[in-house]
Structure 1
Amino acid sequence: MEVDIKSQRRKNHAIKSVWWINGLIILGLVAMGVAGWLWLSMLSPWFYDRPESLAPIENRQHNVFVYGTLRFAPVRWLVMGSTGTPEPAVLEGYRREGLDLKADDDAQVEGLRLEVSADELRRLDRYERLGIRYQRDKLKLEDGTSAWVYRRFPEHETSALHQLKWPLAQLRL
């Protein structure tokens, strides 16, 4: 009887160990997947080529108005390599609609104004896929300062498969 209890305990311990090991493996794979996606999206040389038609970025400090995911310090740190110098800001005459801003005289959008370097602006352009998914417009904020604001291209310009820089997007379906 005592031998059966000991062998049952060993068996239960082995089963728990297998579950823990499998859980750690799955957690590691998920973490590697997230890290890989972040690297591909923000740092890799693939999947985004700055369109040649865009004007070069002046080597100076720039103001950028952010109203979406870039309001969050961890996202800014991942994208720009720093959290920037965020200040609360308001953009009047626009309303937020999903990932975009739409002109609306009676509305305003609350966000942050960041002061960024030319290199940080390049990294923001990459994150927003400037020239492919977003355009960058110079707009006046409520306090009178001018800031770059990323706005989506019209849907028909961004939904075409050939616009993507992914290898599979080059296939003719």
Structure 2
Amino acid sequence: MVWLKRCLLGSTLVALSIAVWLWLTMLSPWFYERPSHLPDIEQRSHQVFVYGTLRYAPVRWVVMYASGNPTKATLEGYERTNLDLTPNQEAHVDGLLLEVTPNQLARLDRYERLGIRYERVKQTLADGTTAWVYVRLPSLSRLRLPSPDYQAALVP
């Protein structure tokens, strides 16, 4: 009986931890503020190509409160590298095309940390459809370092 109580307590703590993490990352007013330099979202329906976690219906329901009416889609000329897309003329990325409202696009922007972790760019898919695609922003390791003269000026 003690084992069952511990198991239930452990399961409850895990479920609560997941719920708190989801709330903090997707719904809370903390940890993400849309950068002011980003343009406002146009008040119309949008097409979005997804190739990672958003391919899974439960994730889309938690993020957007909707499925997005997914259809299979392909982005040619790119390959998936971890959480990013890398240009490769001989490759393609399979994913889903979603139809989203402006509010749902804003929720996707929050989930992808638009302007902080990802940028949203227009791409033409294999069938000729134009859709938004989230592409990782350059990491700090890939940013150009200041010139040696600048670095020397910092050393006393």
TM-score by length of 2: 0.88
Counterpart check, 1:65 vs 2:10: no
Partner of 1:100: 84
**Equivalent-residue separation in structure 2 for 1:43 and 1:25 (angstroms):** 26
Structure 2 residue identity aligned to 1:39: W
**3-state SS in 1 of match to 2:21:** helix
Q: Do the aligned partners of residues 77 and 128 (structure 1) sit closer, same or farther apart at CA in structure 2, a change above 3 Å counting?
A: same
**Equivalent-residue separation in structure 2 for 1:31 and 1:110 (angstroms):** 31
Alignment of 1:146-157 (within 5 A): 146-156=130-140
Counterpart check, 1:117 vs 2:101: yes
Amino-acid identity (%): 58
**3-state SS in 1 of match to 2:103:** helix
Partner of 1:43: 27
User: How many aligned residue pairs are there?
Assistant: 142
Structure 2 residue identity aligned to 1:48: Y
Structure 2 residue identity aligned to 1:153: L
Structure 1 residue identity aligned to 2:96: L
**Equivalent-residue separation in structure 2 for 1:29 and 1:157 (angstroms):** 37
Partner of 1:34: 18
Larger Rg: 1
- How far did residue 25 of structure 1 move? 1.0
Partner of 1:131: 115
**Equivalent-residue separation in structure 2 for 1:143 and 1:85 (angstroms):** 17
Q: Which runs of no fewer than 5 residues in structure 1 stay unpaired?
A: 1-16, 159-173
Deviations 1:65-117 (A, max 9, x none): 00001001111001000111101101011111000001111111110000000
Q: Which runs of no fewer than 5 residues in structure 2 stay unpaired?
A: 143-156
**Equivalent-residue separation in structure 2 for 1:100 and 1:73 (angstroms):** 20
TM-score by length of 1: 0.80
- List 4+ stretches of structure 1 deviating above 3 A: none
